[in-house]
Amino acid sequence: MTRVVALLRAVNVGGTKALAMPALCTLLTELGFTGVKSLLQSGNVVFGYSGSGGAVLERQLETAVAGALGVQTAIFARTAREWSAIVANNPYPDAARDDPGRFVMMAFKTAPAAKDVATLRAAIVGRETVTVSGRHAYIIYPDGQGNSKLTNALIERKLGVPCTARNWNTVLKLATAVG
């Protein structure tokens, strides 16, 4: 049995895509996942899974959530091992320690092309710092994410891949939960 972190994109944020976490947990349990737990109200769940994972699991979850709960959203699944690597490979340990609320890990459906990462970096007009590593990015928002022109929409447009972000506090809580 593999422990998995699943991140649902843009649910319960700003009044859009309302999704009750207890209903999501019940659905996942009914689908045969084990030890299902949610973290916060912003679409973070941890569970046990015995299948192949990856894109197959993401599509299964997206289809189930849309069909049973009426919410269409992208879902990003990572195994406990992958989540541990996200934490271990953090290129900005000082930002993680000193200001974790302004330090973000972004998950992608697929790894963006190097040319697209260069295009993204060229589009940064503020003080943000971005490092992309495979299917993840680490972003420092020194002036706060809400004040930044480096939005998720801009990142998706420049990289050409769907994404969702979590601040470092949430990343660490999920690391503990997926254990």
Does this model's pTM top 0.85? yes
14: pLDDT strictly greater than 60:
no
Same fold yes or no, 2-82 and 83-178: yes
Residue ranges per structural domain of the chain? 2-82, 83-178
User: Which CATH number among 1.20.120, 3.10.450, 3.30.70, 3.10.590 corresponds to the domain 83-178?
Assistant: 3.30.70
Which CATH number is associated with domain 2-82? 3.30.70.1280
- Span 28-48, pLDDT tens digits: 999 999 999 998 777 899 999
- Span 106-122, pLDDT tens digits: 999 999 999 999 999 99
In eight-state DSSP terms, residue 111 is: P
Mean pLDDT score, 9-15: 64
Torsion, Cα 105 106 108 111, to 10 degrees, reads: -60
- Structure-model confidence comparison of residues 10 and 115, the more confident one: 115
171: pLDDT strictly greater than 90:
yes
Query: What does R_g of the chain's alpha carbons equal in angstroms?
Result: 16
Q: Alpha carbon of 112 to those of 7, 116, 155, 158, 163: distances in Å?
A: 18, 7, 11, 9, 10
- Span 43-102, pLDDT tens digits: 899 999 997 678 999 999 999 999 998 888 999 999 999 999 999 999 999 999 999 999
